[in-house]
């Protein structure tokens, strides 16, 4: 009898300890995957995007078209990758893999929104500026005040005079001219803390309001990163963009996604599943 | 000598007593055909790619750039040569263009673009002239082969399909967007040209 009581107690304790986390672990097998391709963008900041002689799609953007609207088709991105790897747009050198898919899943409960990224970050990068982290995974959410937020994803924060851009000083980070982004990042270095930051006039790697947590692991050659952030509100569709710094890349030498939308109990490119 | 020329002129002006009017007309007709044919053949010779790249200014610069583009080499082997884009097809516009082009001989003589550096220094100015010409004629030379009517946007990449719909709605002309498709874009393009 004592043994049974003990077992029950132990079980009860375990359940009690596990209960607060029970909702924090969606059954990802039941959450659909949406492949989002990330690609090496070279030097194509928002100034480039909005200059017609550089980017013929500028006219489309002015009409309200999104990057995805023109560039994502048949499960891939229709960029001229030769041009993106050319010296003019990538003076330092392009990574061996121009584009790869990231499987994105999302789920939510009353308190939180969970985003799971699964990807194989390929080697063959050119810039290895981040010695500590082999991989970093970042999600950014623009607010409604960011210019063209729903169209351009992270691009409104990407400027020609930011650090690691050709000829730019080392001081400026990502920044916005209006509005702000919320930023969360997972770093692969052992013991590295998840970043809960913002991008406004400058990028801050702390002081964010997402309550962001991140866990990641590498199994064989596949990374799985799970972000937890506070639920933005059921029924909302929020814009977001991804960035993966693979192979110790730093600064602009990331692979990024275009701007997508995430529906929390609402329509979106990625639909979060209610837990 | 002066007497001989005066004599010849007098002979030419004198009505013929020896040859019939029909004979003279026939001779004139045949000579006219030869002259006209010769003139056109010579003009057509200036329309060939070989003629265009016989000058190193074209051969070393724009021709090298054009060789990397779809107008030079493509799946079906239909090639658009220099004159297809830069010289009107119909005779009246063509002769006007050819007369204008004779001014380029002056540039050749003066060596305006006889080095790579000089070419690059003048590239924007030269390109702007050609863009203005193309725009003024609603991209007529492009439209000798391409038309919105013949275009199946369903078979285009999404980015092209969407832009072509906008272009039609806004009555744009080809060159409004398709600058630098066969040659490098000049540096320092003006915003209204972009």
Q: Which pLDDT tens digit goes with each residue over B98-144? A: 999 988 899 999 999 999 999 999 999 999 999 999 999 999 999 99
Instruction: Give the Cα separation of A40 and A43 in Å (integer).
Output: 9
Closest CA to A35 of A68, A66, A64: A68
User: Which pair of structure tokens corresponds to residue B125?
Assistant: 């100015």
Please indicate whether, in this complex, the C-beta atoms of A78 and B166 are within 8 angstroms of each other.
Answer: no
Rounded mean pLDDT, B53-61: 95
Instruction: Give the Cα separation of A86 and A93 in Å (integer).
Output: 8
Beta strands A260-264 and A270-274, pairing class: parallel
Chain A interface mutation, best of B127, B159, B167, B184, highest count of A Cβ atoms under 10 Å? B159
Domain range holding B153?
49-73+80-182
Q: Does residue B33 have a pLDDT over 90?
A: yes
Please indicate whether, in this complex, the C-beta atoms of B162 and A69 are within 8 angstroms of each other.
Answer: yes
Distance from CA of A184 to the nearest CA of B (A): 31
Instruction: Give the Cα separation of A23 and A1 in Å (integer).
Output: 33
Please indicate whether, in this complex, the C-beta atoms of B157 and A73 are within 8 angstroms of each other.
Answer: yes
CA B82 to chain centre: 7
**Pick among 1.10.3470, 3.30.300, 3.30.980, 2.60.40: CATH of A33-274:** 2.60.40
* pLDDT given at position A21: 46
The string over A227-244, giving b where at least 16 C-beta atoms fall within 10 Å of a residue's C-beta and e elsewhere, is: bbbebbeeebbbbbbbbb
Q: Which residues of B touch A63 (CB under 8 A)?
A: 166
Tell me the percentage of chain B whose pLDDT exceeds 90: 82
DSSP A121-186: --S--S----SS-S-EEEEEEE-TTSTTHHHHGGGGG--TTSTTSTT--SS--S--SSS-EEEEEE
Please indicate whether, in this complex, the C-beta atoms of B194 and A53 are within 8 angstroms of each other.
Answer: yes
Residues 6+ apart with CB under 8 A from A150: A66, A239, A259, A261
Q: What is the mean pLDDT of chain A?
A: 91
pLDDT band of B13, cuts 50, 70, 90? confident
Instruction: Give the model confidence (pLDDT) of A92-130 as tens digits.
Output: 999 999 999 999 999 999 999 999 999 999 999 999 999
Please indicate whether, in this complex, the C-beta atoms of A60 and B179 are within 8 angstroms of each other.
Answer: no
| SS3 (DSSP) at A61 | helix
Instruction: Give the Cα separation of A119 and A125 in Å (integer).
Output: 16
Which one-letter DSSP state was computed for residue A189?
S
Q: Does residue B162 have a pLDDT over 60?
A: yes
H or E element in which residue A49 lies: helix A46-49
* pLDDT given at position B16: 79
Q: ipTM strictly over 0.90?
A: no
B25 belongs to a structural domain: no
H or E element in which residue A270 lies: strand A270-274
B1 belongs to a structural domain: no
* pLDDT given at position B173: 96
Distance from CA of B112 to the nearest CA of A (A): 26
Closest residue, chain A, to B189 (C-alpha): A53
Tell me the percentage of chain B whose pLDDT exceeds 70: 98
B163 belongs to a structural domain: yes
Q: Which residues does residue B141 pair with via DSSP β-bridges, in sequence order?
A: none
* pLDDT given at position A3: 54
B43 belongs to a structural domain: no
pLDDT band of B79, cuts 50, 70, 90? very high
Q: What is the pTM of this model?
A: 0.82
Residues 6+ apart with CB under 8 A from B184: B65, B123
Q: What is the mean pLDDT of chain B?
A: 92
In chain A, which residues have pLDDT < 70?
1-24
Q: How many A-B residue pairs are in contact by the CB < 8 A criterion?
A: 37
Q: How many structural domains are present in chain B?
A: 1
């Amino acid at each position: 009898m004592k043994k049974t009581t003990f077992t029950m107690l132990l079980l009860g304790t375990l359940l009690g300890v596990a209960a607060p986390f029970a909702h924090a672990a969606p059954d990802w097998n039941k959450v659909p995957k949406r492949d989002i391709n990330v690609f090496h963008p070279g030097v194509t900041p928002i100034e480039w995007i909005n200059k017609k002689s550089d980017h013929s799609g500028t006219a489309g953007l002015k009409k309200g078209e999104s990057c995805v609207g023109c560039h994502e088709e048949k499960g891939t991105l229709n960029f001229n990758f030769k041009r993106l790897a050319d010296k003019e747009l990538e003076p330092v050198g392009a990574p061996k893999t121009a584009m790869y898919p990231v499987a994105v899943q999302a789920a939510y409960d009353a308190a939180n929104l969970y985003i799971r990224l699964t990807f194989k970050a390929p080697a063959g990068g050119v810039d290895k500026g981040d010695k500590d982290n082999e991989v970093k995974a970042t999600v950014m959410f623009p607010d409604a005040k960011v210019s063209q937020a729903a169209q351009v994803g992270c691009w409104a924060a990407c400027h020609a005079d930011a650090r690691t851009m050709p000829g730019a000083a080392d001081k400026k980070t990502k920044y916005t001219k209006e509005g702000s982004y919320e930023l969360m990042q997972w770093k692969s270095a052992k013991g590295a803390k998840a970043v809960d930051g913002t991008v406004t006039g400058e990028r801050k790697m702390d002081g964010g309001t997402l309550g962001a947590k991140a866990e990641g692991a590498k199994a064989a050659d596949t990374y799985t990163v799970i972000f937890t952030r506070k639920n933005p509100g059921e029924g909302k569709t929020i814009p977001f963009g991804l960035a993966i710094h693979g192979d110790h890349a730093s600064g602009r030498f990331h692979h990024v996604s275009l701007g997508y939308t995430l529906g929390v109990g609402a329509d979106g490119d990625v639909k979060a599943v209610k837990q | 000598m002066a007497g001989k020329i005066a004599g010849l002129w007098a002979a030419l002006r004198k009505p013929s007593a020896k040859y019939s009017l029909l004979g003279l007309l026939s001779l004139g007709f045949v000579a006219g055909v030869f002259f006209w044919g010769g003139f056109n053949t010579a003009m057509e010779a200036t329309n060939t790619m070989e003629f265009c790249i016989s000058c190193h200014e074209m051969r070393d610069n724009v021709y090298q750039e054009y060789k990397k583009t779809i107008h030079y080499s493509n799946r079906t082997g239909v090639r658009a040569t220099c004159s297809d884009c830069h010289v009107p097809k119909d005779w009246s516009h063509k002769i006007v263009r050819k007369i204008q082009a004779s001014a380029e001989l002056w540039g050749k003589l003066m060596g305006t673009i006889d080095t790579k550096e000089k070419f690059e220094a003048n590239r924007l100015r030269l390109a702007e002239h050609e863009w203005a010409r193309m725009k003024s004629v609603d991209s007529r030379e492009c439209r000798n082969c391409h038309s919105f009517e013949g275009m199946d946007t369903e078979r285009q990449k999404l980015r092209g399909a969407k832009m072509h719909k906008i272009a039609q709605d806004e009555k744009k002309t080809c060159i409004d967007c398709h600058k630098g498709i066969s040659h490098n874009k000049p540096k320092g393009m003006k915003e209204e040209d972009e």
